Amino acid sequence: MTSAAQDPQALDPAGVNPAEVRAMDRALELAAQGVRGANPLVGAVVLSPEGQVLGSGYHRGAGTPHAEVAALADARSRGADPAGGTMVVTLEPCNHQGRTGPCSAAIHEAGIRRVVFAAPDRTAQAAGGARWLQDHGIECDGGLRQAQSEHLNGRWLRATAESRPFVTLKTASSLDGRVAAADGTSQWITGSRARADGHAIRARVDAVLAGTGTVLADNPRLTARPVPTDEAGAAGDAGSPPPAQPLRAVMGLRPVPQDAAVRGPGFLQLATHDVPTALAELHGHGVRHVLVEGGPGIAGAFLAAGTVDELVSYIAPVVLGAGTPMFPPVGVPTLTAAHRWVPDPAGGGAVTQLGPDVRLRLRPADGDDGDDAAADGTAADRTATGRTTAASTTAAAPTSAGTATGIPVNPSTPQHNQE
Ligand SMILES: NC(=O)c1ccc[n+]([C@@H]2O[C@H](COP(=O)([O-])OP(=O)(O)OC[C@H]3O[C@@H](n4cnc5c(N)ncnc54)[C@H](OP(=O)(O)O)[C@@H]3O)[C@@H](O)[C@H]2O)c1
């Protein structure tokens, strides 16, 4: 690393150049447009040998093209040939075959001469892209804006390190934070556009989870379905839902009735009250992104366990007065102990109006103040790249809970790019 990146003009000519620094900042902005879930947020920009932008792209969620492939396609769609150019990307190119092919091979086939990446990929499944590229004669520099890239994907990195799915908690409540009226009725607090948006999220996760309380009270199907809306173009959620149905998981000890709507192929009962145990079981079933839909017992348990990576909260302009609160008491004796959240600009924006309702997209504050520098590309981290050899990239793989860059990664089972 060189501190010369404080002034991009002064960078070591053998390292990154100003065009690459600008491209990385743009790639970070693009990355933040993706949806959170099974895969990290990644953006990419293709530069010509002269440093002109030929194309750019970002990853739109599991099962869709990775950022590098999207950027190459964008360049070609503009009539540009990426051969001889530079790929600037916020994560080390993957080196594995999932639902999509390895990005390392796509970069090689495109004739890219040089790759500049932000964060190394330390996951067992996809790591090794830089080494593979270098072995195939492509120059690689890593570490430019690494802190921003890792901050952007902080909760995804944590979930991966803990060998558990990324957890999105969805709530739908009244203005006064009630998820059901005094008599227990809760269908429907929000309008059709908010419900359509919720179904779009269901369609791109690996599993939907509710508690036995919700199943016994509401008999939900927990499937992803189109919701008729009163307005055209209703769904406000970013990303293209894949056609597959998620697993339907019910957490709790009471038996799920044989005639419950949630039963059938893809149904799973998690007979436990322990959140890590439930998440480990889901992970064992290949689940890398779970949508937790409550009710309050389950929502509170996930919150108390510190395992909510993303909160999607639909708020309807109704007041229920008495009724079921969104969360039970979750161990907050005083204001300073509150569970705090910050707006998450990823995935289409932190605040979205959906008909009469509002969708908040939040992420845990995790000690930061919500000034999401990584997402807006203006972070003060001016760390320049150091020349990253394939050896140094792989050497960064952690041997304990800590790493050279301070990211806790469990070396035994991390997975990447659940495709
Ligand atoms: N508006 C909304 O978005 C929304 C969404 C869902 C539900 N709701 C409403 O919420 C109400 C149901 O609330 P609920 O709290 O009973 O539903 P729930 O959270 O879905 O289920 C609670 C049950 O989950 C099980 N459980 C498993 N692990 C747990 C843990 N660590 N902590 C606590 N419980 C655990 C327990 O069942 P066992 O005793 O079987 O172990 C518990 O009784 C209904 O009125 C429903 O309509 C509203």
Q: Which residues pair with 289 in a beta bridge?
A: 166
Dist CA 277 CA 123 (whole Å) = 22
Contact between residue 57 and residue 65 where contact means Cβ atoms under 8 Å apart = yes
- Residue 285 has which token pair? 């079933």
Q: Looking at ligand 1, which atom is closest to the CA of residue 254?
A: 40
Angle subtended by helix axes 18-31 and 67-77, to nearest 10: 110
342-to-89, 363, 365, 370, 381 alpha-carbon distances in Å: 26, 6, 5, 5, 20
Catalytically active residues, by annotation = 68
Q: Could you tell which of 273, 275, 292, 307 is best to mutate to test the pocket of ligand 1, judged by most ligand atoms within 8 Å of the CB?
A: 273
Which of 179, 195, 272, 318 to mutate for ligand 1's pocket (most ligand atoms within 8 Å of CB)?
179
Higher pLDDT, residue 240 or 273: 273
Range name among 9-13, 115-119, 412-416 with the lowest pLDDT average:
412-416
Q: What is the mean pLDDT of residues 186-212?
A: 94
In three-state secondary structure terms, 240 is coil
Average predicted confidence (pLDDT) for the chain: 83
Q: How far is the CA of 63 from the centre of ligand 1 (A)?
A: 31
pLDDT, tens digit (0-9, with 9 covering 90-100), for 40-51: 999 999 999 999
pLDDT band for 194, please (50, 70, 90 cuts): very high
Asked whether the beta carbons of 42 and 66 are under 8 A apart, the reply is yes
Q: How many CB atoms lie within 10 A of CB 109?
A: 12
DSSP 8-state secondary structure symbol assigned to residue 66: P
Q: What is the pLDDT of residues 24-35, one digit of tens each?
A: 999 999 999 999
- Proportion of the chain above pLDDT 90, given as a percent: 68
CA of 174: how far to CAs of 28, 171, 308, 315, 356, in Å?
35, 10, 21, 6, 12
pLDDT digits over 1-29, tens only? Answer: 333 334 433 344 457 899 999 999 999 99
**Residue given tokens 């090794």 in the structure block:** 128
pLDDT at 122: 82
Percent of the chain beyond pLDDT 70?
79
* Lowest-pLDDT range of 136-140, 260-264, 374-378, 379-383: 379-383
The SS3 of residue 282 is: helix
pLDDT in tens, 284-330: 999 999 999 979 999 999 999 999 999 999 999 999 999 999 999 88
What residues line ligand 1, using a CB cutoff of 6 Å? 171-172, 179-180, 184, 186, 189, 210-214, 217-218, 251-254, 273, 293-298, 301, 324
Among 271, 304, 339, 305, CA closest to 159: 305
pTM over 0.75: yes
Residue 257 has pLDDT above 90, yes or no: yes
Contacts of 77 (CB under 8 A, 6+ apart): 55
Residue located nearest, by CA, to atom 45 of ligand 1: 184
In which band, very low, low, confident or very high, does the pLDDT at 230 lie, cut at 50, 70 and 90?
low
The pair phi, psi for residue 126, each rounded to 5°, is: -115, -5
